[in-house]
Structure 1
Amino acid sequence: MKFLINGELIDKSDHFDVINPYNGELVDTVPIGYRSDADDAIESANNARRALNDLSAKEVSIKLFDACEELERESEDIAKLIVAEAGKPYKQAIVELQRSVETLQFAAEEAKRIYGESVPIDATGSVDARFFAFTKKVPLGVVGAITPFNYPVNLALHKIAPAIAAKNTVVMKPSMEAPLAALRLAEIINNHFPDGVINSVTGYGSEVGDAMVVSTGINKISFTGSVATGLFISSRSGMKKLTLELGGNDPLVVLEDADVEKAVSAATSGAFLFSGQVCIGVKRIILDNKIADEFIDLFAKEASKLKMGNPMDESTDIGPVINESAAIHIETAVNSAIEDGAELILGGNRKDCFYEPTILDNVNMTMDLVANETFGPVAPIIRVDGLDEAIKVANDTQYGLQAGVFTESIRSALRCANEIDAGSVLINKESTFRTDAMPFGGFKSSGMGKEGIKYAVEDMCKTKLIAFNCK
């Protein structure tokens, strides 16, 4: 597959192999781009700004709807591509495509809802009512989208779609671990817009990504990835606007009065979705000691029902993680926790890129497994005594993306909602819940800025004041 600059598919002499993590087979190759290619893409995006801005809001909306229809027609094929390159189970990949179609629909609708406002500048008393002003929202210019492997289409669209809705052109660098579906997405959008509105370049972050971050031809970077990379981007980006989605260490708090069966169901889906490779996945389960034993018994029974195997099989729940290096990292973190006193309840075994759904009891926050984000199908259980300790443990992390709380007490729910330091606190729902219209973004090291189409569109505009002196 090739990358896209100014409406043309570009190949290079050097290529990167995209390997299926399930069977180790070659899926496809992508060209390895360099700084000069990133510069060409940025120039193309800047040259296309006029053509995009000459379109009316209605025309932009119609074109986004047209791209949405094409994406929907190709959903099954693109879902299979995600399965092949990322190992995501097909039934989860097709849900990603369904959400992606909705994301484009939201963007198409939002393209016609970009409003300014009147400004009562006579409120100061220094001018009279014949001097009036209003604001206008104008596009930033060019948005650089640096996207991850775990939701290669949906998370790319959360950057691309609001950017174009606000009449910004785009340069996208997909993850080299799963670039194919994102590249196909760029081609689909390009089919409906002037050449150069959407550009894509594959290459290494140190080359292509850094060229985008430092370029004066890009006005905003929207990035999803690691804290280390996010910090590096913020140190190199100069005066650009930034949206950084940097992952989480999300807790599921289950208090003594919770509906245990519902909490177990939430923990099973939240901890093991896409083999735990989800930034808002349940990374820590904080259980009140009074219900811990009951919860763990039910949880182990439910998790043991999950089917691990070929991700193309529609009955498969657990596929491989993205590569063997990732699987070894998970294995090391689990084994270290066990050596430090954690009790293995379920799983704990690795084979190649597969890691079994794993439950650990008696985990504490000094263990690397929960002190840092473990991106795998692991459910660490931390026992607490009461609400105060549960909130304290939930906040004992550098991250603050989302949190789930199970309780039947409105008082406990409100305390958790107010005191847990996270971008979203979900009551009687796991942290893994997200709809594509809601504001999404965390606190602390989980990043800065908000995604969610309406909120992203706002951040992809700048405000211009226009004043008239009518004396």
Structure 2
Amino acid sequence: MSRDTPFTVPCFIEGAWQETAEAAERQGPYHRHVVSIASQADAALVEVAVKAAIAGRGSVATLSPSDRADILERAADLTDQRSDEIAERLALELGKPVRDGRGEALRVAATFRIAAAETRRLGGSVLPAEGWPLGRGSTVLTRSTPVGVVLAITPFNAPANLLAHKLAASFAGGNSTIIKSPPQAPASTAIVVEIALEAGVPAEAIQLLHGGADIGAQLCAAPGIGAVAFTGSAAAGAAVARAAGPKRTVLELGGNAATIVHADADVAKAAAACARTGYSNSGQSCISVQRVYVHSSRFDEFVTAFTGHVNNLVVGDPLDPATEVGSMVDDQAASRVASWVEEAVAEGGTVPTGGVRSNATVTPAVVLKPPASAKVVREEIFGPAVVVLGYDDLDQVVEECNASRYGLQAGLFTHDVGTIFDLWRRLEVGALVINGPSNHRLDHIPFGGVKDSGIGRESPAFMIEDFMTTSTLHLRGISLWSESEISSAPNRTERETP
């Protein structure tokens, strides 16, 4: 297929790709032409999809963990084979450089393999029922069972890997999955679904819908869905939680991550790492380096090194393998970032480089010492701008970091073990990265935050648990320890239960 020919992206419902009466075009933010045309779901199709997902639960639940793991490993192999295709779709739909897109494809494959390994560990337990007098003569077993149907609502910034996390964990746990794609990345979503189906995920166990927030809200509220996994903004996450009601939810939301460069840090290493990860994917990551707090004794040294690295970043066509910073998701997002940088300057900050907008591209901006009230400090930038602030006292930094309504991840450059453990105790974040920036993630490690950064942890092991329930089996009169009968002690619970 020519790069100038748009991808046609149907919905996948009841085991078949289906086009609908209404379609939405996605214009690529860098190349400025239509790159995908996605069939749009309506309220009636949502109901069909939910019924189909409920009906398809058994096709996964009855597969052994070994069978599910084999399918996930095949999905990983197929992802490796199609990594260039995934990267190209991400570049065309989102402006993500192909070098980053290939990295995302590698992570998709890794996520499938990690989920496969966790699937092989599924089991249950024998509880210590006879450790208490009323449990004498009883054996109690537990096993993990699927919640049934998982709804996965994915974002635009890493649509392939964040879908892989949700879909792989749902399937590993024995569930069917309904996927609501981001409007900005329907083709990048569909390729992951294609891979899962080719690998052997039963067709009746996946439903893919395209549409806006109204479709997502209807799906969240639909009866029969056992769990909702959402990645997106804090405001959208709150709306998802309200619509979902008492359903299980895993919400991975926003952040305005801080990285601290202490007095004893390797400044050269810190500057290079912050420049590399502060602008990858044009800063459109919830853990992107946004605020860098540098000890005053090292501030000038850091700024010089950091600005030098930023000026050397290659900005341009996301399809060019040399490009390090492509475009943002759309013109509106780019305009917002450029305006926030301008506001920071008006409020007293300085910008030695970057912040220049052309269509959906913003050149990497360095913002020095804006006031704490500036949006670039207080809110989530989600764009190619990094704020650098000085400090003299770590208590001050901890206070400023914890004042944020977000708490996803932080970075800390230091060699002092006491400082490491002190800040790990005091910083209100889901994870602290030592001698690395905030923008660091391993897909097999629990990922998530506190406060407005979300609920739950996103990694296969933790998400599989979120997508399963515990079923308990009481065996009365059967003891693992003796041949004795059920305890003759009065069972008050039995007598008092109506």
TM-aligned CA deviation for residue 193 of structure 1: 2.1
Contact 2:115 2:460 in 1 (8 A): yes
* Aligned equivalents of 1:121, 1:54: Cα separation in 2: 29
CA distance in structure 2 between the partners assigned to 1:454 and 1:59 by the alignment: 18
Render the CA deviation track for 1:34-71: whole Å, top value 9, x for unaligned: 12212211111111111212211111111111222222
Alignment correspondent of 2:228: 221
Asked whether 1:109 is paired with 2:97, we answer no
Q: Which residue of 2 aligns with 1:233?
A: 240
Give yes or no for contact 1:286–1:394 (8 Å, CA) kept in 2: no
User: How far apart are 1:419 and its partner, in Å?
Assistant: 0.9
Determine whether 1:49 maps to 2:66: no
Equivalent residue in structure 2 for 1:5, among 13, 36, 50:
13
Distance in 1 between the 2:62 and 2:187 partners?
Answer: 31
In structure 1, what is the Cα distance between the partners aligned to 2:377 and 2:206? Answer: 39
- Partner-residue secondary structure (3-state), 1:64: helix
Residue equivalent to 1:87: 95
SS at match of 1:269: helix
**Are 2:184 and 1:177 aligned?**
yes
Q: CA deviation at 1:396?
A: 2.0
- 2:178 touches 2:208 (CA, 8 Å); kept in 1? yes
1:441 aligns with 2:448: yes
- Assess if the C-alpha contact under 8 Å between 2:348 and 2:371 holds in 1: no
CA distance in 2, matches of 1:76, 1:23: 18
Matches within 5 A, 1:265-284: 265-284=272-291
Question: In structure 2, the residue corresponding to 1:153 is in which secondary structure?
Answer: helix
Please tell me whether the aligned partners of residues 347 and 371 of structure 2 are also in contact (alpha carbons under 8 angstroms). Answer: no
> How far apart, in 1, do the equivalents of 2:457 and 2:109 lie?
20
Where does 1:112-127 land on structure 2 (aligned, <5 Å)? 112-127=120-135
State percent identity of aligned pairs.
30
| Partner Cα separation in structure 1 for residue 309 and residue 259 of structure 2 | 17
- Alignment match of 2:68 (pick from 60, 65, 85): 60
TM-score norm. by structure 2 comes to: 0.93
Taking the aligned partners of 1:431 and 1:71, their CA distance within structure 2 comes to 27
How big is the shift at 1:184? 1.6
What residue identity is the alignment partner of 1:22? Y
Instruction: Note the C-alpha offset of 1:109.
Output: 1.5
**Pair 1:416-2:423 in alignment:** yes
| Match of residue 452, structure 1, among 446, 449, 459 | 459
Amino acid at match of 2:208: S
Question: Which amino acid is the alignment partner of residue 23 of structure 2?
Answer: H
Q: Separation in 1 of the partners of 2:355 and 2:111?
A: 37
Q: Which amino acid aligns with 1:53?
A: A
User: Which of these residues, 349, 352, 356, is aligned with residue 349 of structure 1?
Assistant: 356
Deviation digits for residues 208-265 of structure 1, max 9, x if unmatched?
1011110012111100001111111111212200000111110011111111011101
Residue 303 of structure 2 corresponds to which residue in structure 1? 296
Is 2:271 aligned against 1:264?
yes
Task: State whether structure 2 residue 34 is matched by structure 1 residue 19.
Answer: no
CA deviation vs aligned residue, 1:261-317 (integer Å, no higher than 9, x gap): 111011112211111001110111111111111100111111000011101111001
Contact 2:75/2:109 (8 A) holds in 1:
no
**Which has the higher mean CA deviation after the structures are superposed, 140-149 or 228-237?**
228-237
Q: 2:383 aligns with which of 358, 371, 376?
A: 376
User: What whole-Å deviation, never above 9, does each CA across 1:408-455 have from its counterpart, x for those lacking one?
Assistant: 211111111111110000110111110110000100000000111111
- Tell me, what secondary structure is at the counterpart of 1:41? helix
Could you report, residue by residue, the CA deviation over 1:112-163 in whole angstroms, capped at 9, with x for unpaired residues? 11122111122222231x2110111001110000000011100011111011
SS in structure 1 at match of 2:204: coil
8 Å CA contact retained: 2:10, 2:19: yes
- Report how far residue 104 of structure 1 moved: 0.4
In 2, Cα distance between equivalents of 1:329 and 1:395: 25
Give the match's secondary structure for 1:363: coil
Instruction: Output the amino acid matched with 1:46.
Output: I
Q: Is the contact made by 2:36 and 2:186 (CA closer than 8 Å) also made in structure 1?
A: no
CA distance in 2, matches of 1:390, 1:19: 42
104, 108, 118: which one pairs with 1:96?
A: 104
Name the SS for the 1:113 alignment partner. coil
2:476 aligned with 1:465: no
Secondary structure of 1:394's counterpart equals: helix
Q: Specify which of 188, 195, 210 is matched with residue 202 of structure 1.
A: 210
The amino acid of 2:288's aligned partner reads: G
Q: 1:143-193 CA distances to partner (integer Å, 9 max, x unpaired)?
A: 000000011100011111011001011000010011111112112212312
CA distance in 2, matches of 1:354, 1:204: 24
Amino acid at match of 1:443: V
Counterpart for residue 40 of structure 2: 32
Aligned AA (2:222): S
What letter matches 1:97 in structure 2?
A: A
Partner of 2:250: helix, strand, or coil? strand
2:225 aligned counterpart, secondary structure: coil
Deviates more, 1:354-363 or 1:364-373: 364-373
Q: What code does the residue aligned with 1:82 have?
A: L
Aligned length: 469
Separation (CA, whole Å) in 2 of partners of 1:230 and 1:26: 29
Task: Please report how far the alpha carbon of residue 110 of structure 1 lies from its aligned counterpart in structure 2 after TM superposition.
Answer: 1.3
Match of 2:316 in 1: 309
What RMSD, in angstroms, separates the aligned Cα atoms of the two structures?
1.0
Q: Tell me what 1:428 maps to.
A: 435
SS of 2:242's partner is helix
Letter in 2 for 1:198: I
TM-score (norm 1): 0.98
2-structure distance, mates of 1:422, 1:54: 39
Q: Secondary structure at the match of 2:412?
A: strand
Contact 1:42/1:217 (8 A) holds in 2:
yes
Return the match for 1:143 from 123, 134, 150: 150
Q: Is the 8 A contact 1:253 1:394 kept in 2?
A: no
Structure 1: segments with no counterpart, 5+ residues? none
Structure 1 stretch displaced more, 391-400 or 240-249: 391-400
* Matches of 1:426 and 1:237, distance apart in 2: 33
Instruction: Give the secondary structure class of the aligned counterpart of 2:131.
Output: helix
The offset of 1:464, in angstroms, is 1.2
The answer as to whether partners of 1:12 and 1:32 remain within 8 angstroms in 2 is: yes
Candidates 331, 336, 342, aligned match of 1:335: 342
Q: What 5-or-longer segments of structure 2 have no aligned partner?
A: 1-8, 478-484, 486-498
Q: Structure 1 CA distance, aligned partners of 2:333 and 2:135?
A: 64
SS of 2:178's partner is strand
Which has the greater radius of gyration?
Answer: 2
Paired residue type of 2:278: A
Measured against aligned partners, the alpha-carbon deviations of 1:330-385 in whole angstroms (never above 9, x if no partner) come to 01111111111011121121111110100011123211112110111001112211
Partner of 1:72: 80
Any idea what SS the aligned residue of 1:36 has? helix
8 Å CA contact retained: 1:190, 1:197: no
